[in-house]
């Protein structure tokens, strides 16, 4: 087990500086254009592929960093560049991790390369979990997958929403219910290969922020996929369902549902790191502006009203990063989140990003409210952190339930 440390080693520093350079030189100059266009920034993704950032190998190296700091460090730097473009670059990773976590070696080797393509023909993938009536309530998925034993095929019907890369992806990973009686324990994940009949893009959302990231509904109408597309295989699923049915009888539905919420704990620090990157970017713009902007014959940072805001902003950002790094280290080293530390990190970092970006606009005054300066875009982008991967309200609920040891509602 790696010791927890705040000091990055030489290799980590080298990766951090490399990512920062890419974010500064490639992502940030393109941010305003792709935010206005509200389109997937394919040229930037291709550049990321050429240098090795948009690849499974890169994310695997960060994921398996024994200190746990590889992923949060990478997320912070990329999202420092721009949240919308960064999400377009890392969004495929959600689907890839789903296959890595649940798939067989053959499935991993077959499908993950097709998710990324190559530097000359980049592809993206989509992870489809949320539904119109099942966001935070993960146990209420209505998308159903039914096994057709005669053809060894699964038939999937339902509608997914808020899917990053939904409809434009080469490969979709779809979470569906195969046994509603056991709630989230009756869920399974399926690969939907490229060009499968019945899968179509529904509404593309015109969003408040992260507009360079494609977000859409995915409609599944009698989508048939081979039995080999069930991640993990049917034998493993049947064994898991049998255990879940026994546990459901003994424990009751609420406990099954709460266990589903706990499965998201380990991934939440990564979202917290994204929020830290956006907050840090806004703080740096505000700090630079306050040092150079003069009013009444002196820089505005010479006023306590501005200087104290900047002091609070920096303190909150550093505190958020500490919570994210702690939770990330705990997750990779198998430390149990006895106080919902994963949710703590995501909650605090998300709320910090919203607050810091709003303060940055205030420090820039009228300029901060215009699109000539990036802080208004950063503020719009920051709103998503308190919503996706579990709202702030859900994070507080998870923390409260953990501390109380009771099913607080």
Is the domain of 107 the same as that of 134?
Answer: no
Is the domain of 47 the same as that of 32?
Answer: yes
CATH of the domain at 41: 1.10.540.10
Question: What share of the chain has pLDDT > 70, as a percent?
Answer: 94
Is the domain of 228 the same as that of 148?
Answer: yes
Residue 136 has a pLDDT of: 67
Gap between the Cα atoms of 195 and 403, Å rounded: 47
Q: Measuring CA to CA, which residue among 175, 180, 214 is closest to residue 192?
A: 175
Is the domain of 387 the same as that of 270?
Answer: yes
Q: Which of 14-18, 30-34, 181-185, 325-329 has the lowest mean pLDDT?
A: 181-185
Residue 4 has a pLDDT of: 86
pLDDT of 140 higher than 80: no
Is the domain of 65 the same as that of 87?
Answer: yes
DSSP class of residue 167? T
Is the domain of 161 the same as that of 89?
Answer: no
Chain segment 263-297, per-residue pLDDT in tens: 355 578 999 999 999 999 999 999 999 999 999 99
Q: How confident is the model at residue 249 (pLDDT cuts 50, 70, 90)?
A: low
For 229, phi and psi rounded to 5 degrees? -90, 0
Q: Is-above-0.85 flag for pTM?
A: yes
DSSP 326-339: HHHHHHHTT---TT
CATH of the domain at 143: 2.40.110.10
pLDDT of 340 higher than 50: yes
Chain segment 53-102, per-residue pLDDT in tens: 999 889 889 988 999 999 999 999 999 999 999 999 999 998 998 898 88
Is the domain of 108 the same as that of 189?
Answer: no
DSSP class of residue 134? B
Is the domain of 56 the same as that of 112?
Answer: yes
Active site residue 389: yes
* Last-in-domain residue among 122, 149, 178: 122
Chain segment 356-393, per-residue pLDDT in tens: 999 999 999 999 999 999 999 999 999 999 999 889 99
Is the domain of 90 the same as that of 160?
Answer: no
- Check if the beta carbon of residue 332 is closer than 8 Å to that of residue 266: no
Is the domain of 164 the same as that of 52?
Answer: no
Per-residue pLDDT, averaged over 163-186, amounts to 93
Residue 332 forms part of a structural domain? yes
DSSP class of residue 230? B
Gap between the Cα atoms of 402 and 283, Å rounded: 33
Is the domain of 179 the same as that of 277?
Answer: no
- Residues listed for the chain: 409
Burial class (CB in 10 A: 0-12, 13-18, 19+), 64: exposed
Residue 245 has a pLDDT of: 81
Residue 250 has a pLDDT of: 64
* Last-in-domain residue among 234, 256, 291: 234
Extended beta strands in 246-354, E state: 294-295, 298-299
Q: Measuring CA to CA, which residue among 147, 196, 139, 193 is closest to residue 171?
A: 193
Residue 2 forms part of a structural domain? no
Host domain of residue 177: 125-234
* Last-in-domain residue among 102, 122, 142: 122
Is the domain of 274 the same as that of 395?
Answer: yes
Gap between the Cα atoms of 254 and 249, Å rounded: 11
Per-residue pLDDT, averaged over 119-138, amounts to 87
Residue 244 forms part of a structural domain? no
**Number of folded domains that form the chain:** 3
Determine which one of 149, 153, 389, 393 is catalytic: 389
CATH of the domain at 392: 1.20.140.10
Residue 258 forms part of a structural domain? no
């Amino acid at each position: 087990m790696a010791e927890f440390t705040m000091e990055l080693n030489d290799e980590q520093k080298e990766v951090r500086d490399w990512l920062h350079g890419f974010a500064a030189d490639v992502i940030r100059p393109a941010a305003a254009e792709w935010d206005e266009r509200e389109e997937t920034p394919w040229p930037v993704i291709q550049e990321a592929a050429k240098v090795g950032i948009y690849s499974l190998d890169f994310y695997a190296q960060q994921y398996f960093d024994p200190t746990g700091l590889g992923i949060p460090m990478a997320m912070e730097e990329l999202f420092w560049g721009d949240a919308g473009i960064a999400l377009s670059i890392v969004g495929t990773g959600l689907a890839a991790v789903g296959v890595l976590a649940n798939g067989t070696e053959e499935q991993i080797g077959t499908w993950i390369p097709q998710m990324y393509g190559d530097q000359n023909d980049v592809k993206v993938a989509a992870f489809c979990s949320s539904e119109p009536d099942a966001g935070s309530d993960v146990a209420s998925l209505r998308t159903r997958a039914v096994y057709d034993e005669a053809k060894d095929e699964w038939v999937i019907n339902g509608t997914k929403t808020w899917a990053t890369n939904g409809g434009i992806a080469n490969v979709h990973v779809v979470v569906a219910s195969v046994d509603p009686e056991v709630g989230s324990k009756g869920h399974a994940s399926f690969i939907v290969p490229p060009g499968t009949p019945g899968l179509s893009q529904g509404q593309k959302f015109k969003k408040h922020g992260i507009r360079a990231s494609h977000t859409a509904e995915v409609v599944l109408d009698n989508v048939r996929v081979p039995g080999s597309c069930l991640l993990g295989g049917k034998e493993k699923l049947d064994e898991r369902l049998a255990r879940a049915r026994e546990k459901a009888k003994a424990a009751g539905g609420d406990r099954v549902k709460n266990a589903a919420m706990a499965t998201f704990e380990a991934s939440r620090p990564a979202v917290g790191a994204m929020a830290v990157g956006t907050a840090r970017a806004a703080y740096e713009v505000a700090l630079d502006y306050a040092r150079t902007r003069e009013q009444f014959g002196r820089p505005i940072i010479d006023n306590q009203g501005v200087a104290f805001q900047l002091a609070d902003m920096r303190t909150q950002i550093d505190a958020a990063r500490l919570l994210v790094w702690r939770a990330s280290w705990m997750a990779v080293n198998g430390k149990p989140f006895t106080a919902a530390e994963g949710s703590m990190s995501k909650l605090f970092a998300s709320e910090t990003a919203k607050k810091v970006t709003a303060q940055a606009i205030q420090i820039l005054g009228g300029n901060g409210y215009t699109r000539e300066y990036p802080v208004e875009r950063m503020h719009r982008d920051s709103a998503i952190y308190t919503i996706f991967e579990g709202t702030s309200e859900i994070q507080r609920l998870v923390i409260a339930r953990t501390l109380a040891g009771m099913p607080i509602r």
